[in-house]
């Protein structure tokens, strides 16, 4: 089940997202499947090292996205890691095929590993930092949508941070916690303490479905989210 807040949209066609042309890496994205899943690839300009986030569906489209990203580096582009933000079925449908095609290691939140059919090479825990040739990504554990949901933080040295939140944070609210007050309290608490209390307003949020946002655009609604319970 999708974890988007009420009012988010689903698409039935492949959608190509924006290119974020940063000083040291690029961020490309596509939207795949009837669930409007966002797939992201980060490519180091200097080394060609890539991280793919959420091999959700449509392996040929994802492989095309990776091929397009070759334009972003003079080096040979190659996938160093495929990260799954959480274990829900709509985020892993192309994982096995893409992993086999690019021969990359896989990563996911440690508490979600048992629910992902494709073996996880790197279990992620709060604060883990992955060092790639040309950039780093930090794992932020956000408990509630699933036990092991993670966001990935890229701290751009020359601009705003970029945060890949999976299904834990969207424009207009946190992810779906199935009406469970305890799960909502856990997710809301982590999102506030580990994201909003730490990162500035210009941080760019790249969610697992639909359009992006910034922390500044959402910060004023935190009290409303807490009061409504979703």
What CA–CA distance (Å, rounded) separates 168 from 151? 8
What is the mean predicted confidence (pLDDT) over 144-157? Answer: 98
Find how far residue 151's CA is from the centre of its chain.
Answer: 6
Q: What share of the chain is helix, strand, coil (3-state, %, to 5)?
A: 25, 30, 45
What CA–CA distance (Å, rounded) separates 12 from 17? 15
What CA–CA distance (Å, rounded) separates 166 from 37? 9
* 15-228 is a CATH 3.60.15.10 domain: yes
Is the separation of the CB atoms in 139 and 126 below 8 Å?
Answer: yes
40-81 pLDDT tens trace: 999 999 999 999 999 999 999 999 999 999 999 999 999 999
What CA–CA distance (Å, rounded) separates 37 from 95? 13
What is the mean predicted confidence (pLDDT) over 27-31? Answer: 97
175-221 pLDDT tens trace: 999 999 999 999 999 999 999 999 999 999 999 999 999 999 999 99
Is the separation of the CB atoms in 61 and 102 below 8 Å?
Answer: no
Of 39, 48, 54, 51, the C-alpha closest to 71 is 48
Residue 152 has pLDDT above 80, yes or no: yes
Of 42, 29, 27, 31, the C-alpha closest to 4 is 31
């Amino acid at each position: 089940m999708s974890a988007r807040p009420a009012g988010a949209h689903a698409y039935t066609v492949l959608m190509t997202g924006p290119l974020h042309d940063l000083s040291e890496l690029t961020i490309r994205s596509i939207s795949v499947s009837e669930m409007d899943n966002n797939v992201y690839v980060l490519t180091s300009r200097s080394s060609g090292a890539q991280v793919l986030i959420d091999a959700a569906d449509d392996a040929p489209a994802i492989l095309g996205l990776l091929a397009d990203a070759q334009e972003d580096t003079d080096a040979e582009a190659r996938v160093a890691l495929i990260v799954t933000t959480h274990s829900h079925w709509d985020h892993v449908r192309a994982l096995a095929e893409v992993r086999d095609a690019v021969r990359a290691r896989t990563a996911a939140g440690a508490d979600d590993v048992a629910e992902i059919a494709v073996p996880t090479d790197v279990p992620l825990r709060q604060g883990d930092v992955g060092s790639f040739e040309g950039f780093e990504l930090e794992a932020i554990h956000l408990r509630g949508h699933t036990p092991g949901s993670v966001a990935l933080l890229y701290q751009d040295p020359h601009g705003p941070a970029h945060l890949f939140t999976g299904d834990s944070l969207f424009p207009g609210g946190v992810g779906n916690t199935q009406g469970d007050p305890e799960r909502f309290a856990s997710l809301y608490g982590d999102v506030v303490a580990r994201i909003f209390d730490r990162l500035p307003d210009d941080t760019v949020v790249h969610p697992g479905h639909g359009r992006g946002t910034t922390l500044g655009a959402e910060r004023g609604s935190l009290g409303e989210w807490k009061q409504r319970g979703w």
